[in-house]
Amino acid sequence: MTDIKGLYSDKVMDHFLHPRNMGELPDANGTATVGNKICGDVMKIYLKIEMKDGIEIVKDARFQTLGCGAAISTSSMATEMIKGKPVKDALELTNQAIIEALDGLPPAKTHCSVLAAEAVKKAIEDYKNRK
């Protein structure tokens, strides 16, 4: 087995070994599935969005990811970053912000952060289409 110590940050490893918000969200009102055909990673994001004082808020966010440790870590971090935030702020989530929040990713794993940010945006789009 290859030693991965030093390849991934402590935050990436923590979110991989102890993912936050993993699993289905039965009352989700926005969902999206995205994937990368080259590496095989697949992410599904579930959002529960509610109105609070006239502002759409991401009340809850969950994910199911089939993929490498970086894919799981970026999914976990993305859901953490948008929970409790206004939808307009969640729409501004970038892959670079996810990478920074995880204290970096190896260049070969940047595509995982792109998938996570894309999944969030598509789940919000799904929510808006359902309204």
Lookup result for tokens 């102890």: 18
- Work out the pLDDT band at 107, boundaries 50, 70, 90: very high
In a domain, 2, yes or no: no
CATH number for the domain harbouring residue 81? 3.90.1010.10
In a domain, 56, yes or no: yes
Query: Exposure string (b/e) for 90-125, b if CB count within 10 Å is 16 or more?
Result: beebebeebbebbeebeeebbbbbbbbbbbbbbbbe
* Tens-place pLDDT, residues 32-50: 999 987 888 999 999 999 9
**Is 100 in contact with 93 (CB distance < 8 Å)?**
no
The pair of structure tokens assigned to 99 is 């990478």
Residue in 39, 68, 97, 101 annotated catalytic = 39
Residue in 28, 32, 45, 112 annotated catalytic = 112
The pair of structure tokens assigned to 3 is 């030693």
pLDDT at position 2 over 50: no
Residues spanned by the domain of 113: 34-130
In a domain, 22, yes or no: no
- The pLDDT of residue 5 is 58
Cα–Cα distance for residue pair 34/118, rounded to 1 Å: 7
The pair of structure tokens assigned to 93 is 């989530």
**Is 80 in contact with 19 (CB distance < 8 Å)?**
no
**How far from each other are the two terminal CA atoms of the chain, in whole angstroms?**
49
In a domain, 54, yes or no: yes
Q: What is the total count of domains within the chain?
A: 1
To the query of whether residue 68 is one of the catalytic residues in this protein, the response is no
In a domain, 94, yes or no: yes
In a domain, 12, yes or no: no
* Tens-place pLDDT, residues 51-63: 999 999 999 999 9
